[in-house]
């Protein structure tokens, strides 16, 4: 009688939701080794790590360097040696596999040996992904016989396809499907992700475990949310988001068998699938009944908190992973700089966050008092450095060639650039990273000054719409229980304060009108005519689309920032700088 004909023993599964550092093989290997010890000491039978946990994700053009590839292979051998400490545990680690070409692979490790590799079959090449640039797709699907369990392994994108490897493994009789992933965050992504995972578990009648990376990497944030689903598609365990976690759960395997008894479609599908089986002989170590685990299901958080935590994690990891300790922010008394400062203080600590008030002759007294109150509320160090002397010198220098042209918009930009010069000087001298404060609405329409308010190392709110900025400010105040961000900063009309009585609405539609137009055009790729047909004012819509098209050159020169929407500038939305196609121009016919 085969092992599969006998009742299935329960297994203890561990999912290591870790924060890898791209290219830091030694650090990543040490984190993996630590999790191996923790899971093994907890009696885990199987331990899984995220996609490319060894290298971090995405390693991008590091993958074009043979020396880096060779060092990843060496690091994997060291990790394999760590598994000798727990010979009854199977370990699954995402790594770069070198053959004649490169594969995005999962190493199956047991008792010091690399017993198999699974090669990712579906390579995403859309949005932020460009895996076809580096990897060859795999074409082999197998099952692992470990104890009495049949286990199928897949990698990230593989499981999003209804006829993909996970489905084949499930139909072939897998008791447990394990998907290792590095899935970048955007707002409420967990909804579509968990819906898909629940469907895949229910369709195959197998338990399904999904382990995701967390952490910030350049503009990407990985949110974690690792989870386990029953054979009917119900969540039975879930890690919290935006934090490292080792999720451990005891999984009864007989449920998958019972599900197949009840569903004749699964039996029919089983007859049509024949992936080969890799046997890993090992004595079963029973789960200690007296120490049986109660699976933890971390609750979901709402959309505003989710975005806020993503921004906080993105700032912390970008600053710290790039070797900085402190940041500096030009605080104006407005809502954008206030929210940026609060996020920075939450991410790095007030002692590592510095504010600079940069008043000009047009700065209102209210703006200065609001900025000072914010700094007091946060407990951050501030400096007041008036920019008018710098502005006067630059204007005087330009007076001969420009005459009266030195005033107007040119004079406004001189002020913004004087602020940029001052902040960058502090950055150079004190090794403080400058955080810029512009939001996605402003970046969309070019309401920002190159080498002025755009000057800096990291753009915290780059992918946050202005209307979202207000919601996040109110959310953070509610969490604080008082007006951490001064009420006046939230309620006053937005202004760059670069000329007398200036308001953003002098140049732009109100943000509650502008943002939906921009979202339709930028995130949903809806054309101008269709936007107008949706009921938006034609003048506002045409103006917003025109400004968006004309300011691509500014966005290309902007610092990186945290991606939180489905379609961020840069990695997601890529438009040519030199572009002759514009919907906002007067239509021409080809016979003119």
What is the residue-wise DSSP string for 400-445?
HHHGGGGSTHHHHHHHHHHHHHHHHHHHHHH-EEEEE---HHHHHH
3-state helix, strand, coil in the chain (%, to 5): 45, 20, 40
d(CA 310, CA 14): 25
Between CA 48 and CA 60 the distance in angstroms is 23
Q: Count Cα neighbours of 309 within 13 Å in the Cβ-side half-sphere.
A: 20
Mention every residue, 6+ apart, whose C-beta is less than 8 A from residue 131: 104, 120, 123, 124, 125
Distance, in Å, from the CA atom of 135 to the CA atom of 57, rounded to the nearest integer, reads 14
Strand partners, 278: 144
Q: How is residue 581 written in tokens?
A: 């196609």
Q: How far is CA 24 from the centre of its chain?
A: 19
Residue showing tokens 């759960």:
249
The CA distance from 6 to 488, in Å, is 70
Q: Give me the phi and psi of 367, to 5 degrees please.
A: -65, -40
Backbone angles phi, psi at 499, to 5 degrees: -155, 165
Tokens of 431: 């090794």
Q: Give the Cβ contact number of residue 66 at 10 Å.
A: 9
Backbone φ and ψ of 88, nearest 5°: -100, 10
- Report, as residue numbers or ranges, the catalytic residues: 51, 120, 156
Closest CA relative to residue 46, chosen from 169, 175, 171: 175
Strand, coil or helix: what is 359?
coil
Determine the Cα–Cα distance for residues 419 and 499; give it in Å rounded to an integer: 15
What the block records as the tokens of 109 is 């490790």
Please name the residue that has the structure tokens 């040696």.
Answer: 81
d(CA 166, CA 158): 7
Look up residue 310 and give its two tokens: 């993503």
Cα dist from 386 to 214, 366, 418, 449, whole Å: 41, 16, 10, 19
| Spatial contact of 104 and 52, defined as CB atoms under 8 Å apart | yes
In DSSP terms, which residues pair with 459 in a beta bridge? 436
- C-alpha–C-alpha distance, residues 306 and 186, integer Å: 9
Are 261 and 254 contacting, i.e. CB atoms less than 8 angstroms apart?
no
- Beta-carbon contacts of residue 331 (< 8 Å; ≥ 6 apart): 337, 338, 341, 355, 356, 357, 371, 374, 375, 382
Token readout for 259 is 């599900």
d(CA 590, CA 530): 22
């Amino acid at each position: 009688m085969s092992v599969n004909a006998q009742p299935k023993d329960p297994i203890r599964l561990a999912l290591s939701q870790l924060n890898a550092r791209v290219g830091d093989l030694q650090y990543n290997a040490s984190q993996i080794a630590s999790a191996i010890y923790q899971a093994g000491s907890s009696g885990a039978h199987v331990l899984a790590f995220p996609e490319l946990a060894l290298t971090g994700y995405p390693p991008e053009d590091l993958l074009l360097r043979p020396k880096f590839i060779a060092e990843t292979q060496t690091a994997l051998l060291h990790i394999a040696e760590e598994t000798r400490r727990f010979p009854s545990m199977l370990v699954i680690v995402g790594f770069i596999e070198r053959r004649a070409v490169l594969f995005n692979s999962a190493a199956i490790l047991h008792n010091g040996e690399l017993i198999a590799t699974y090669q990712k079959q579906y390579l995403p090449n859309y949005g932020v992904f460009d895996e076809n640039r580096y990897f060859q797709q795999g074409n082999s699907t197998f099952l692992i016989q470990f104890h009495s369990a049949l286990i199928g392994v897949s990698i990230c994108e593989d499981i999003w396809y209804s006829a993909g490897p996970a489905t084949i493994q499930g139909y072939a009789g897998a008791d447990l499907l394990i998907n290792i992933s590095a899935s970048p965050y955007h707002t409420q992504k967990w909804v579509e992700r968990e819906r898909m995972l629940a469907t895949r578990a229910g369709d195959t009648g197998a338990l399904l475990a999904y382990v995701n990376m967390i952490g910030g990497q350049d503009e990407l944030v990985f949110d974690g949310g690792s989870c386990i689903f029953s054979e009917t598609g119900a969540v039975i365990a879930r890690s919290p988001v935006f934090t490292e976690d080792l999720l451990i759960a005891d999984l009864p395997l007989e449920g998958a068998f019972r599900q197949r008894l009840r569903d004749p479609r699964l039996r029919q599908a089983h007859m049509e699938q024949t992936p080969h089986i890799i046997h890993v002989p090992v004595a079963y170590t029973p789960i200690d009944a007296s120490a049986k685990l109660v699976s933890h299901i971390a609750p979901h958080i709402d959309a505003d908190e989710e975005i806020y935590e993503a921004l906080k994690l993105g700032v912390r990891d970008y600053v710290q992973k790039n070797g900085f300790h402190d940041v500096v922010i030009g605080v104006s008394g407005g809502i954008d700089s206030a929210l940026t400062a609060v996020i920075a203080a939450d991410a790095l600590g007030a002692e590592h966050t510095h504010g600079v008030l940069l008043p000009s002759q047009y700065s209102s007294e209210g703006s200065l008092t609001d900025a000072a109150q914010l700094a007091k509320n946060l407990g951050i160090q501030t400096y007041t450095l008036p920019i008018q002397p710098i502005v006067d010198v630059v204007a005087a220098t330009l007076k001969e060639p420009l005459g009266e042209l030195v005033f107007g918009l040119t004079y406004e930009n001189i002020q913004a650039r004087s602020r940029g010069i001052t902040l960058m000087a502090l950055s150079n001298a004190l090794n403080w990273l400058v955080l810029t404060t512009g939001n996605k609405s402003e970046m969309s329409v070019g309401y920002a000054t190159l080498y002025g308010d755009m000057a800096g190392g990291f753009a915290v709110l780059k992918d946050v719409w202005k209307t979202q900025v207000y919601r996040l400010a109110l959310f953070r105040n509610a969490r604080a229980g008082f007006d951490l961000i001064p009420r006046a900063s939230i309620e006053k009309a937005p202004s760059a304060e670069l000329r007398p009585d200036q308001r953003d609405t002098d140049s732009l539609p109100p943000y509650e009108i502008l943002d939906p137009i921009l979202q339709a055009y930028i995130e949903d790729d809806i054309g101008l005519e269709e936007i107008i047909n949706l009921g938006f004012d034609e003048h506002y819509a045409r103006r917003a689309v025109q400004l968006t098209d004309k300011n691509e050159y500014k966005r290309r020169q902007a610092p990186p920032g945290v991606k939180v929407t489905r379609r961020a500038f840069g990695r997601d939305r890529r438009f040519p700088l030199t572009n002759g196609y514009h919907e906002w121009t007067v239509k021409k016919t080809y016979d003119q």
